[in-house]
């Protein structure tokens, strides 16, 4: 039995639509050796098919849609496991709609049991409708807690955490956040990994570039975690966190030989990665769940004229 890998994408495989050096060889080694792996992303907008095409255009050809587990799939799994006959009002894009549809979860804009918020563009009209549904009793569910997502080293875009924050403010209700770092994402990904390989991996390792989602989630789910310094976390930021990765790597390129030979590498400590970090020093909380420690759910303020 081999070790299975859950692999974050942005900052691990590519950055700003550019492949991380060595990523093609790393994924080829996983495929060639029959090592179980899944790409794990908080982006709920694309479908697994969209993501496979995206990687193909970047030069990674040996992956299929079954190699992806998105927060949209995780949300659909969550609802079909906990409340299979529910209905939903969705604020989100194709990947989320397709995942819910695949699980036979119906759309309902009259009296849905849940308002589900994902990544993507949104109109004030849609938000107003979601607000009304919540006022009529719908529960609020978010595919992932990201307030913003990196687009380039200079640019970010609003994430679903920001959209949910709007509805939390307008309704006084708090959302439940799926996606990384929620352990449910990791447990279901582990189960999917076992399903597609028809075997239970000896151990599962999460490889990611973000402490708050990839490393924290793996730690809380009882998995090993490898932090790569090719993305958003800088070496000098590590001491800010109470949880730490099992292992530190400059990039996934350091794992390729190990996967090919099945032997551990020399284990030398990673040097400080000199690359720029796009969001480490952006002010504010990157993820909605980060604020839980500081703010208790508050009652909705009285409406004033
Ligand atoms: Mg990442």
- The residue count of the chain comes to 305
Number of domains in the chain: 1
**H or E segment and range at residue 102:** helix 94-102
pLDDT at 286: 74
- Residue 158 resides in a domain: yes
- Residue 154 resides in a domain: yes
Let me know if 146 is a catalytic residue: no
**Ligand 1 centroid – CA 6 distance (Å):** 12
Residue 117 has pLDDT above 60, yes or no: yes
- Residue 95 resides in a domain: yes
| Domain span holding position 117 | 72-180+285-293
Q: Round the average pLDDT of the chain to a whole number and report it.
A: 89
Residue 303: other Cβ atoms inside 10 A: 5
**Ligand 1 centroid – CA 64 distance (Å):** 20
> What is the token pair recorded at 188?
């279901």
Average pLDDT over residues 193-210: 91
- Residue 216 resides in a domain: no
- Residue 102 resides in a domain: yes
- Residue 88 resides in a domain: yes
% of the chain surpassing 70 pLDDT: 87
The answer to whether the CB of 229 falls within 8 A of the CB of 252 is no
Residue 277 has pLDDT above 50, yes or no: no
Whichever domain contains 167, its CATH number is 3.40.50.1000
Residue 52 has pLDDT above 90, yes or no: yes
Residue 288 has pLDDT above 90, yes or no: no
- Residue 81 resides in a domain: yes
Residue 295 has pLDDT above 80, yes or no: no
Let me know if 10 is a catalytic residue: yes
The answer to whether the CB of 162 falls within 8 A of the CB of 282 is no
Residue 233 has pLDDT above 70, yes or no: yes
**Ligand 1 centroid – CA 10 distance (Å):** 4
Q: Which residues pair with 138 in a beta bridge?
A: none
Distance CA 22, CA 89 (A): 42
Closest of 168, 27, 151, 29 to residue 91, by C-alpha: 168
């Amino acid at each position: 039995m081999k070790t299975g890998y859950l692999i974050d994408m942005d900052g691990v495989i590519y950055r700003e639509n550019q492949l991380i050096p060595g990523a093609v060889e790393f994924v080829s080694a996983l495929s060639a050796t029959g090592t179980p792996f899944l790409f794990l992303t908080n982006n709920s907008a694309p479908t697994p098919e969209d993501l496979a095409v995206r990687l193909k255009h970047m030069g990674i050809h040996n992956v299929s849609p079954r190699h992806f587990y998105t927060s949209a799939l995780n949300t659909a799994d969550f609802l079909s496991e906990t409340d299979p006959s529910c209905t939903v009002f969705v604020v989100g894009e194709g990947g989320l709609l397709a995942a819910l549809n695949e699980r036979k979860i119906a759309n309902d804009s009259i009296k849905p049991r849940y308002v589900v918020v994902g990544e993507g563009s949104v109109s004030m009209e849609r938000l107003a409708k979601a607000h009304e549904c919540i006022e009529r009793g719908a529960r609020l569910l978010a595919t992932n807690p990201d307030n913003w997502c990196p687009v380039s080293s200079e640019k970010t875009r609003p994430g679903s955490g920001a959209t949910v924050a709007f509805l939390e403010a307008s309704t006084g209700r708090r959302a439940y956040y799926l996606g990384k770092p929620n352990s449910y994402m990791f447990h279901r990904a582990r189960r999917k990994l076992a399903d597609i390989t028809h075997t239970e991996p000896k151990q599962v390792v999460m490889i990611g570039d973000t402490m708050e989602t990839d490393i924290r989630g793996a730690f809380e789910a009882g998995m090993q975690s490898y932090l790569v310094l090719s993305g958003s976390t800088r070496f000098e930021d590590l001491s800010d966190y109470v949880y730490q990765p099992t292992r530190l790597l400059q990039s996934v390129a350091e794992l390729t030989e190990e996967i090919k030979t099945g032997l551990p590498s020399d284990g030398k400590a990673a040097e400080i990665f000199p690359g720029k970090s796009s969001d480490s020093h952006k002010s504010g909380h990157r993820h909605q769940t980060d604020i839980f420690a500081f703010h208790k759910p508050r009652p909705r303020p009285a409406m004033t004229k």
